[in-house]
Amino acid sequence: MYLNFTGANSGDQDCSCCVEVSRMRIPLSEITRYYRTMPRHPCVLITKNGKQICADPNDKWTQRTVQFIDLT
């Protein structure tokens, strides 16, 4: 399941918020960056091929992924 967004274009991101989050775990090697739609709202993970995936920020996997990206 990939990203479902709602909202208008907001600069370099194509959306303003996520409609639902993915439960799929993407390999860390495939994720290049992330951004948050709003504080305490879903993170948007961006893959090497440009796919945008909403992830639950309370999920341990998402938290570890964000930490990994911040350290690289």
The domain that holds 17 is classified in CATH as 2.40.50.40
| pLDDT tops 60 at residue 7 | no
Residue 7 is classified by DSSP as: S
What total of structural domains would you count in the chain?
Answer: 1
| Range(s) of the domain holding residue 40 | 4-71
**Residue with structure tokens 């920020």?**
57
Residue pair 3/43 in contact by the 8 Å Cβ criterion: no
pLDDT digits 0-9 by tens, 14-71:
445 677 888 888 899 999 999 987 777 778 999 999 999 899 888 999 999 999 999 9
CA distances 67 to 28, 61, 72, Å, are 11, 10, 9
Task: State residue 17's pLDDT score.
Answer: 65
12: confidence class by pLDDT, cuts 50, 70, 90: very low
Q: In this structure, are strands 52-55 and 43-47 parallel, antiparallel, or unpaired?
A: antiparallel
pLDDT at 32: 94
For residue 6, pLDDT over 90 is answered with no
